[in-house]
Amino acid sequence: MEPIVLASSSPRRRELLEQYNIPYIVDFEEIEEVLDESLTLFYQLQMLAIDKGKVVASRHLQEVVISCDTMVCLHHKMLGKANNRQHAREMLQAMSNQKQTVYSAVAIFYKGQIHTFVESSDVYFKELSSREIEDYLDTNEWVGKAGAYAIQGIGNCLVEKVEGSFETIIGFPVFRILEVLVKIKTI
C-alpha cells in the first residue's frame, strides 16, 4: 500500500494510522473553519473536511489524501472548540449527565475524485461535579478539542459509556475509511 497523505496536524489521527499499520505522510494547511449555516450539519462538516484537504490534494494529484473534521453536538447544537477556560467549563457543565453525538466528516481525494462521508457515535457523560470539571480543566487537555474534551485521554474519566466507534469520536473512523479505499481500489 502506498502511503496516504494525511491532511491533518492531529497527533491522534497519526496514532490511529500507526496502530493499524497504515503508511502515511503528513501535509496539511491551516484554514479558517467557517460553517455555511445554509447547509445541513452533515454538509457543513463535509465542506469543512473538503476545505481542509483541497489545497493538499492539489499538491498530491496521484496520491490518496485524507482530511477530516469533527464536531460534538448536544441537543442539536454544535459545540466546537472552546474559546477559553470559561467556555470549556460551560460546555462540560452542559454535557454533564447528557448524551452528545460526535460527528466525523471525512474527505478522501484520489486522482481528481472526492469521496466524502460522515460517521457518528454517541457519548454519554457522567454527572460531573464542579470539582471534577475544574480538575479536568486544570489538565489543559481540553484546549483545541471539539466539545472541550479528549476521550482518548484523561477526558475518558468524564464518560459513562459510548455507543458507536471510538475512532469516530477521536475524529478518524478507520474502518469506514478503509472500506472507501477498497471501493475506489487504492488498496
Q: How far apart are CA 13 and CA 82, in angstroms?
A: 20
Can 36 be counted among the known catalytic residues? no
Per the structure, the complete domain to which residue 128 belongs is given by 4-183
d(CA 136, CA 92): 10
Grid cell in block for residue 167 = 475512532
Are 9 and 25 a contacting pair, CB within 8 Å?
no
Calculate mean pLDDT across residues 172-183: 94
Q: What is the pTM of this model?
A: 0.89
pLDDT band at 30 (very low <50, low <70, confident <90, very high): confident
| pLDDT digits 0-9 by tens, 109-154 | 999 999 999 999 999 999 999 999 999 999 999 998 889 999 999 9
Longest C-alpha distance within the chain, in Å? 52
CATH of the domain at 172: 3.90.950.10
For the stretch 56-106, pLDDT in tens is: 999 999 999 999 999 999 998 888 889 999 999 999 999 999 999 999 999
The amino acid at residue 138 is D
- Model pLDDT, residue 159: 97
Q: What is the pLDDT of residue 1?
A: 74
Q: Identify the band that residue 32 occupies on the pLDDT scale cut at 50, 70 and 90.
A: confident
172, burial (CB in 10 Å: exposed 0-12, middle 13-18, buried 19+): buried
Q: Cell 459510548, residue?
A: 162
pLDDT greater than 80 at residue 33: no
Could you tell me what percent of the chain has a pLDDT over 90?
A: 80
pLDDT(186) > 80: no
Structure confidence at residue 36 (pLDDT): 77
Residue 135 contacts residue 91 (beta carbons within 8 Å): no
pLDDT band (50, 70, 90) for residue 41: confident
Amino acid identity of 98? Q
69, 122, 135, 138: which one is catalytic? 69
What average pLDDT is seen over the chain? 93
Q: pLDDT band for 187, please (50, 70, 90 cuts).
A: low
Nearest to 116 by CA among 127, 125, 108, 126: 108
Domain count, the chain: 1
Residue type, 164: G
β-partners of residue 149 are none
Side chain identity, residue 44: Q
